[in-house]
Structure 1
Amino acid sequence: MNKSNENTFTCLIVEDEPLSQEILESYINDSPQLLLKGICSDAIMANSILMEEKIELVFLDINMPKMNGIEWVKSLREVPEIIFTTAYPEYAVDGFELNALDYLLKPFSLDRFFKAVNKFMSLQKNLEKSALFLNANISVKSNKKTYLLKTTDLKYIESEGDYLKLHRDEDCLVIHETLKSFQTKLPEKSFLRIHRSFIINLNKVEYFEGNQVCIGNQIIPVASSYRKELIDLLDKSS
């Protein structure tokens, strides 16, 4: 099934059983809303993909070699939406305590799979509706002060550990927040995540070359997984 990147959400399978991998891959291929970006047999492989790709949904087994699914989710600084897939019902409580979207007990049918995916789609629609009401001003706290920040003043946002640097024309504010959380406060048409550590204001880009952009004499890396989306958006705005 041919799928458009513009109308789909990226997903990842993290599962060590070949048969379960095949079933999930088949179900995802039957889901027009989902675009499969990879299949991993353990958490180490999954980490490498998360560093390179924008993953919005993970179908995650629990009993796996090296690190189980519960431990892996707890180790992540930014967690995609999670749908657990396992043969062990006793892990359900642990799964929902991690705010998992759903818990699929093996073996599960295509119909049950679609119900889980529909939960994800409903969540995305609600987030999109909320974004429509976002104001151009954002309230942020930095150094015990509260600032009313105009998003149009932002050049780019840089992640460093558990903190963000909000780069403006005149200064830089440091706040305690994750990049994923802060991105939900920004107007989608003007801001784009181009790297696991950077979000840029598209209106501030001076030039784009190779795998980097220039904003205010600052060179910012562009991850390969975000490059096409960046090119498309810059072409539309030109």
Structure 2
Amino acid sequence: MNKTTDRTYKCIIVEDEPLSQEILESYIKDCPQLELRAICNDALEANQFLLKEQVDLLFLDINMPKMNGIEWLKSLGQAPKVIFTTAYPEYAVEGFDLNALDYLLKPFSFERFLRSVNKFLSLQDKPELKQDQQEETILVKSNKKTYLLKPSELNFIESEGDYLKLYRNEDCIVIHETLKSFITKLPDNTFLRVHRSYIINIRKIEYLEGNQVCIANRLLPIASSYRDELMKVL
């Protein structure tokens, strides 16, 4: 049994649609590890609640009156863990950039909801570490130099024959390796192949335009065979 079941975690719903509130409330009731503390109709109401009581998890809608969920989350100093619930997929990249646990696109099933909750519960078993401690480095060799590369520093990777160009904000490192081999060293929840010549860091996406994605002011092609997978991730 997962040891997270030994305790319950406080959560609140921040949602302005009555039907969505009812669905989330019924789903939460079917999860014995969660204790629903409040249903808030907007971000301002939720803000008042958090001033009085700490919670472990927010089920947060994005498109709400007065202040949207993303704006409110940015305003919080110490925010609880967040699972976004919304009907608007275009907010996904910005949502994950705020370290959201998950992004539930309405309407979502109980099975999909439960996957998000289990993701939250699994994290409760792990001690909190600083980002530098959590992230494993990759050893790469280029031009007689050895680099300790953090995956989060990478914007995208471009293939040219048997060589790869690893683009960071400040430079580009060229190594002798294939995309197929290098992608196995990267976190699969952050990096995605979008073309036979490109792997991208989905957290660095600025916008999508047709069959192209913009990262670090560079438009990269999205091959039709990879587009569905990219949209599924987003």
TM-score by length of 2: 0.52
List 4+ stretches of structure 1 deviating above 4 A.
none
For this pair of structures, how many residues does the alignment match?
126
1:30 alignment partner in structure 2: 30
Residues 3-61 of structure 1: per-residue CA shift (max 9 Å, x gap): xx972000010000000000000000000110000000111100111011121100000
Paired with 1:118 and 1:90, the residues of 2 have a C-alpha distance of 25
1:89 alignment partner in structure 2: 89
Paired with 2:87 and 2:34, the residues of 1 have a C-alpha distance of 23
- Listed as ranges, the gaps of 5+ residues in structure 2 are 130-234
1:63 alignment partner in structure 2: 63
Residues 199-227 of structure 1: per-residue CA shift (max 9 Å, x gap): xxxxxxxxxxxxxxxxxxxxxxxxxxxxx
Change (3 A) 1:25 1:96: same
Could you say what the CA RMSD is over the residues aligned between the two structures, in angstroms? 1.9
Q: Secondary structure at the match of 2:126?
A: helix
Residues 172-197 of structure 1: per-residue CA shift (max 9 Å, x gap): xxxxxxxxxxxxxxxxxxxxxxxxxx
AA paired with 1:102? D
Q: CA deviation at 1:79?
A: 0.6
Aligned-residue identity in percent? 68
Larger radius of gyration: 2
Residues 66-125 of structure 1: per-residue CA shift (max 9 Å, x gap): 000000000001110000000011100010000000000000000000000001001111
Are 1:80 and 2:51 counterparts? no
Q: How does 1:120-159 map to 2 (within 5 A)?
A: 120-127=120-127
Q: Secondary structure at the match of 2:124?
A: helix
- Listed as ranges, the gaps of 5+ residues in structure 1 are 130-238
TM-score by length of 1: 0.51
Paired with 1:6 and 1:117, the residues of 2 have a C-alpha distance of 15
Paired with 1:23 and 1:48, the residues of 2 have a C-alpha distance of 23
Q: CA deviation at 1:127?
A: 2.5
Q: CA deviation at 1:128?
A: 7.9
Paired with 1:97 and 1:75, the residues of 2 have a C-alpha distance of 14
